[in-house]
């Protein structure tokens, strides 16, 4: 099976599940986000094994952040995440490792915050009054459009490397394809919205393009630092779950605060 066909098959299988959970919201979306968080953290901590992350503390921090977001909003999301610190301290105190405690705890906290807050803000978007369903579906479809068209544009017309050090395969041509697709997807998705129609949709689209691109590059930099091309093979040509949600981990928080500011 070719790389492109494999990507299409995985996308067609996974997209309805993600959009369906987002539409239903509540504990359906929480369950999907929690599963994705645990798998993504497993992939990250596996790559960072030489740094000896305290994986149970990271898992607990990310899942508690998601539970807090679902139960009580942003304040409780932060409260849930903070459990990472005392658990990391306890596990570091009893762990038998020669790795620096500072390095081990820092790696643990990075993973829990990156994944937990990134996905947690998607739950916060879904809970926005009146426009939660519309907003979360718009964010998911837009980020999917950005990733898909950036990949296709890079394959078809990519000539100039965007970041040779962080991600040699990404090109400016692919970025332009993805950016145009993302802005247009947001604009048309919110075209009939009384609050976010017109210029606000364009602004939100631009925010999503910028955040999704930075999120993708951030993960590429982490993978390069850890000496890996992909975080896993669970999603075949898409790589691991962390490879698939990397853009959302930055786009989710950016979209939430943009929606609040614009609306």
Q: What is the mean pLDDT of each run of 10 residues along the chain (263 residues)?
A: 61 86 96 98 96 96 98 97 96 82 95 98 95 95 93 85 80 93 94 84 96 95 90 78 95 97 87
Q: What are the distances in angstroms from CA 126 to CA 78, 130, 137, 227?
A: 17, 10, 9, 36
Q: In the structure encoding, which two tokens stand for residue 41, read together?
A: 């953290």
Using DSSP, state whether 45 is helix, strand or coil: helix
Number of separate helices (H) and strands (E) present in the chain? 10, 2
Predicted pLDDT of residue 87: 96
Cα dihedral sign for 234, 238, 241, 243? positive
User: Taking the CA of residue 230 as centre, how many other CA atoms within 13 Å lie in the half-sphere pointing to its CB?
Assistant: 13
Predicted pLDDT of residue 255: 97
Helix axes 74-81, 55-72, angle to 10 degrees: 160
Question: Do residues 53 and 107 touch, judged by C-beta distance below 8 A?
Answer: yes
Cβ neighbours of residue 71 closer than 8 Å, sequence gap 6 or more: none
The span from the CA of 36 to the CA of 200, in Å, is 30
* Residue 169 buriedness (CB in 10 A; 0-12 / 13-18 / 19+): middle
Predicted pLDDT of residue 7: 65
Question: Do residues 231 and 222 touch, judged by C-beta distance below 8 A?
Answer: no
Predicted pLDDT of residue 195: 76
Predicted pLDDT of residue 8: 66
CB atoms within 10 A of CB 37: 28
Beta-bridge mates of residue 171: 161
CB atoms within 10 A of CB 207: 22
Q: How is 209-240 classified by DSSP, letter by letter?
A: HHHHHHHHHHHHHHHHHHT-S-S-STTGGG-S
Which regions of the chain does DSSP assign to beta strands (E)?
A: 161-163, 167-171
Predicted pLDDT of residue 194: 77
């Amino acid at each position: 099976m070719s790389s492109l066909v494999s990507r299409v098959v995985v996308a067609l299988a996974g997209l309805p599940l993600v959009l369906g959970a987002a539409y239903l919201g509540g504990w359906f979306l929480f369950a999907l986000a929690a599963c994705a968080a645990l798998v993504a953290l497993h992939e990250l901590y596996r790559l960072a094994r030489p740094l000896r992350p305290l994986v149970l503390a990271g898992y607990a921090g990310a899942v508690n952040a998601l539970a807090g977001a679902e139960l009580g909003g942003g304040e409780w999301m932060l409260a849930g995440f903070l459990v990472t610190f005392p658990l990391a301290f306890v596990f570091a105190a009893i762990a038998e490792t020669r790795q620096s405690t500072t390095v081990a705890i820092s790696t643990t906290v990075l993973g829990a915050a990156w994944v937990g807050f990134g996905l947690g803000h998607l739950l916060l978007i879904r809970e926005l009054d009146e426009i939660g369903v519309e907003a979360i579906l718009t964010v998911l479809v837009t980020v999917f459009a950005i990733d898909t068209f950036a990949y296709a544009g890079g394959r078809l017309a990519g000539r100039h490397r965007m970041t040779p050090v962080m991600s040699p395969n990404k090109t400016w041509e692919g970025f332009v394809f993805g950016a145009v697709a993302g802005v247009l997807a947001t604009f048309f998705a919110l075209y009939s919205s009384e609050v976010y129609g017109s210029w606000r949709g364009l602004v939100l689209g631009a925010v999503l393009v910028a955040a999704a691109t930075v999120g993708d590059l951030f993960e590429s930099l982490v993978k390069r630092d850890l000496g890996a091309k992909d975080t896993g093979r669970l999603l075949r040509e898409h790589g691991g779950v962390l490879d698939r949600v990397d853009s959302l981990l930055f786009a989710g928080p950016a979209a939430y605060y943009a929606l609040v500011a614009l609306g």
